[in-house]
Structure 1
Amino acid sequence: MADSSPLTLAKELLAILDRDEGRLERIDRFIRGKHDDPYMPPQADDEYKLLAKRAVSNWMPLLIGTPAQALYVDGFRPGTSSEGLPEASSSKSAAWTHWQRSRMDARQAAVYRGALGFGHSFVLTEKTKKGVISKGLSAKKTAALYEDPANDDEPYAALTITAKPKGETPGKARMWDGRYEYAVTYKSISDLDSVRVAKGKLHGSTECPVTRFAAQVDLEGRTVGVVEPMIPLQNRINQTIFDLLVAQTYTSHEVRYATGMAPPLLMEWVDEAGNVTTDPELAVDSRPKLDAAGNPIPAPINHNARRFLFAEDPDVKFGSLPAGPITPLIESVDMSIRHLAAISQTPPHHLLGQIANLSAEALLAAETALSRKITEFQSLFGESWERVFRIAAEMEGDTTATEDYAGEVQWRDMESRSLAQAADALGKLKEQLGIPARGLWKRVPGVTQTEYEDWEQLAEEDDSVGQLATALTRATPSADSAPAAPVSEAVAA
């Protein structure tokens, strides 16, 4: 970093947002269903344009939602306690209290969806009147600087836009570095000369409190989501569906024709002065009705399945044109969706809805690629959450948790399994491998952190009662084990 002054950092971060604005805006349009128009003739009329609008089939939310719905942080297990010993996960821990205070049970989904859609999103950790909380930041409004963007999880500066410019009112932004937070104003993200940075104030951490959540980072530091690589395939699907709608509208039905005859014309009455009249008593003649260009207007032909056509002229011929096939276009749509499923690692039955006659093994095999993809996202996002917990601990003054790099985020098991199957599998793990029962409690489908802790408390109470009963039993000798009285004392008695 040749120049790390706050003003220079603010200009560089705004320049990044200006550079990426077009790309991120295009991704956002595709997520919201505002796609590129399919190809159509330059002289296309309003009917063609309406069909093009109806041809949009937005698959992007499904590509984001399928993995995002399988990502749910359900607990955090600190690596070490204050005594340096391994610590059990607890919803009463400082880390999980910060999580609940930030309402991340509900808000975490927006962080994942932003990262999967744009390639990255951010989480800001800061001190508030309610305590230390974290909240998500949009990739469209936030940028961060790294010395090594491919390997560093700690940015040396980050900026997020809080208000865009309106007329003469400048835009506002917040910027953080390793120690301070700055208020930034600007007239336009492309007008770097208008950038102004106020005096900084301590934010309470020794690191930049903004954490990046990246769906995929290459060794060049570039982040890629699940939407951008699929845009060409999405456009292909829209084009094929547009062609299908055109064929369905214009060539999917039989067309009847007649040759050698002129259509009847609309007629109008005229009076003696040659003026048009609607009164039959004043009419003395009739003539063809003309349009604005002076051409006769043909009368509409009332024709349907209950009527037949006839003509007085023997040279008139009637015929029909057969309907054009649309099956190849339907098959093309199906093929394009299968390509989308393969490239995006989304199970085909999630997109096509074809799950009939599939065995449990076949469904499991179809879900394998998606499971691997979700596992990768859990590894990437888990490391980011662990950094968030460390920064929150530092702001709260917990020095032990601040240096805890052995903590682990616990992800909820979202696989579809019945409770009976899970109980049978867990029972076999306990009996055949000797795994303690308590070690398997977290693997019960659907168990929450609170339920898990309730089980631990109940188990401890049961253990205490059992230990007390054992101690009382040992302290109270039975009649069989009582020492025999001397003979003389027994006779005297």
Structure 2
Amino acid sequence: MIPLAASVSPAALARQLLAVLGRDGARLRRIDDYLHGQHDDPYMPPQADDEYRLLARRAVSNWMPLLVSTPAQALYVDAFRPGESGGGVPAAADSTTVEWEHWQRSRLDARQAAVYRGALTYGHSFTLTERARNGQVRTKGLSALRTAALFEDPANDETPFAALTVVTWPMGDDPGRARLWDARNEYVVRFLSLDDPDSVTVSDLRRHGASECPVTRFAASVDLEGRTVGVIEPMIALQDRINQSVFDLLLAQTYGSTKVRTVSGMAPPIQRDPETGEPVLDAAGNPVPLPINHNAKRFLFAEDPDVRFGSLDETPLQGFIDSIDMSVRHLSAVSQTPPHHLLGQIANLSAEALLAAETALSRKIAEFRVAFGESWERVFRLAAELSGNITSAGDYRGEVMWRDMESRSLAQSADALGKLREQLGIPARGLWARVPGVTQTELEDWEHKAEQDDSVGQLASALKRATPEPAARPAPVAA
């Protein structure tokens, strides 16, 4: 069977990928707007004045960055463990491998967070693994707002048969420029608009050096239809509900949160002509009242016994506050974010209660680690292939090592590791990697120092070197 990519021209692939960007652009930009606090306005009357619109802008309570940051801050790759070290023996995590050297050269310790945040925000992000001009292989992240990929089976394939990323957008008569990759080659694409397929041109053919498309997709969640979804888009309706509740609270607080004093049966004093004493009339023939200087320091009194003074109670605000609190709790439940992360209420909570509250978040993070880990493993295989390491390029048993980000004290961890050593007989060095916060560089330093401190082993090695080998006895000769 001929692969789909082989039967489609590069120009047709470019037009199809640009159309994908145009189709998904509005949805992704709306998600991007909500991430940065540019939300839809809450409902207000059509005749709303500037004061209403000011309150609407102040009503935006942006919870979206927290929904992205909470799981993203628990995703941190610390090391890579190859599948085998030789002879079928599983290898240990090692920072001297070709894969990890590529990781450090690409500065992915810091840049990996942007890949996760992009995938969690838009549903997917991408990385590009390529050989630079100096011959070194590097990996960098690509934004979902600029990048699209095509899969024969988007639900199950990890390797796209083509991908495109926009380098510069069109400006006036100047065309935009994009980079296109298929399974063998890279092309330069120029276009005037995403919805103008006739303006697309493809040129500058060159080999990218890999045996498959060098772009890797990082998907937060993929269904069997191949659709990706992040953590923001499902929460937009709840975010709008919170903004509406806050807007209603601000309206009630601004216009109805104070008592209103009333008076009935009293006519205000009117202006009079100082010469004639007659009332001054306005254009409609009505007397012009004198301005009343009334504030909290002054009292009103009337000589007429029929005048009645009263007051209107203020609008209770607790109902609005309870509505906001309920909506935030709904947001917490639907997004699997612990309530104390959103509400800041952690008083009188035991360690067991905190652990139970974060169980759903831990499961969510574990799901992301599985999905993103598979993508990083493909990146490592691509980097090994481009570096000429054929063995590592075909290693499908390697895995990334995620940092343990659970909130446990060092004393608790040390006690648990000590029990594993004493009660189960697990070698002490095998437990070093489970120490909270330890890095691969620290593990190697510990190994080096442990070898230096092994005085018994050093003495045995010295005696073995100083003791001459016994002479071999001659073989007996048959009589």
C-alpha separation in 1, matches of 2:406 and 2:11? 49
Query: Which residue of 1 is the match for residue 459 of structure 2?
Result: 469
C-alpha separation in 2, matches of 1:55 and 1:268? 50
How much does 1:83 deviate?
Answer: 6.5
Query: Which residue of 2 is the match for residue 65 of structure 1?
Result: 69
Query: Which residue of 2 is the match for residue 395 of structure 1?
Result: 386
How much does 1:285 deviate?
Answer: 9.4
Q: What percent of counterpart residues are identical?
A: 67
Distance 1:285 1:365, change over 3 A: same
Give 1:383's match in structure 2, choosing from 368, 374, 378: 374
Residue pairs, 1:206-225, within 5 angstroms: 206-225=211-230
Deviation per CA, 1:276-333, whole angstroms, max 9, x where unpaired? xxxxxxx999986979x99987655332332111234444322110111111111111
C-alpha separation in 1, matches of 2:444 and 2:287? 87
How much does 1:88 deviate?
Answer: 2.3
Secondary structure of the residue aligned to 2:131 is strand
Residue pairs, 1:316-327, within 5 angstroms: 316-327=307-318
C-alpha separation in 2, matches of 1:286 and 1:95? 98
Give 2:420's match in structure 1, choosing from 417, 422, 429: 429
Residue pairs, 1:60-459, within 5 angstroms: 60-81=64-85, 85-130=89-134, 131-264=136-269, 300-459=291-450
C-alpha separation in 1, matches of 2:77 and 2:43? 44
| 8 Å contact from structure 1 (residues 252, 325) kept in 2 | yes
Query: Which residue of 1 is the match for residue 11 of structure 2?
Result: 7
C-alpha separation in 1, matches of 2:139 and 2:400? 16
How much does 1:4 deviate?
Answer: 1.3
C-alpha separation in 2, matches of 1:406 and 1:415? 26
Query: Which residue of 2 is the match for residue 54 of structure 1?
Result: 58
Q: Between Structure 1 and Structure 2, whose CA radius of gyration is higher?
A: 1
How much does 1:268 deviate?
Answer: 10
TM-score, normalising length from structure 1?
0.89
| 8 Å contact from structure 1 (residues 74, 448) kept in 2 | yes
C-alpha separation in 2, matches of 1:16 and 1:295? 69
CA RMSD, 1 decimal: 2.4
C-alpha separation in 2, matches of 1:405 and 1:66? 30
How much does 1:416 deviate?
Answer: 1.1
Secondary structure of the residue aligned to 2:358 is helix
Deviation per CA, 1:176-216, whole angstroms, max 9, x where unpaired? 00011110000000111111110321111011000000000
How much does 1:462 deviate?
Answer: 3.2
C-alpha separation in 2, matches of 1:151 and 1:338? 35
| 8 Å contact from structure 1 (residues 82, 400) kept in 2 | no
Distance 1:284 1:396, change over 3 A: farther
How much does 1:267 deviate?
Answer: 8.6
| 8 Å contact from structure 1 (residues 268, 289) kept in 2 | no
C-alpha separation in 2, matches of 1:10 and 1:138? 17
Secondary structure of the residue aligned to 2:294 is coil
Distance 1:475 1:9, change over 3 A: closer
| 8 Å contact from structure 2 (residues 279, 287) kept in 1 | no
C-alpha separation in 2, matches of 1:298 and 1:98? 83
Distance 1:207 1:304, change over 3 A: same
Q: How many residues align?
A: 462
Distance 1:142 1:294, change over 3 A: farther
Q: State the AA in 1 paired with 2:173.
A: E
Secondary structure of the residue aligned to 2:349 is coil
What residue ranges of structure 2 are gaps of 5+ in the alignment? 468-479
Deviation per CA, 1:329-352, whole angstroms, max 9, x where unpaired? 111111111110000000011111
| 8 Å contact from structure 2 (residues 125, 142) kept in 1 | yes
Q: State the AA in 2 paired with 1:362.
A: A
How much does 1:473 deviate?
Answer: 6.4
C-alpha separation in 1, matches of 2:372 and 2:79? 14
Secondary structure of the residue aligned to 1:199 is strand
